Amino acid sequence: MKTSGHTCPVCAYPNLREPARSASGGGSYEICPSCGFQFGVDDDDKGIAFEEARTAWLAGGARWSGKGVPMPKGWNGRKQLQAAEGEGTGQVTRPASARSRSRRTRS
């Protein structure tokens, strides 16, 4: 698949229009067409970690989530993720805002 953008930290989709998080740390509000994660909403507002979203996406069959965004020819979510992990770009991190909320709710 030709890449021309930013990589999703959940599923490693390589063609996001913007970085998932800005330099100041805010979410882009872009929805990844591959996994359906919305940056700034799913992570910040709902407290869903990238790892949790990735696990759920894989458990659901790693299906294309784009509504109105055509699936690239030959696209395979699991292969996309495996390729990124093999290149060392599949690292998943959890935003600091979500980490701090999780600590508060566990206490």
| Mean pLDDT (10-residue bins), the chain, 107 residues | 81 95 93 97 96 97 94 95 76 42 39
The residue type of 30 is E
The verdict on pTM exceeding 0.85 is no
Rounded to whole angstroms, the Cα distance separating 47 from 98 reads 5
Find where tokens 């909403």 sit: 41
pLDDT at residue number 1: 55
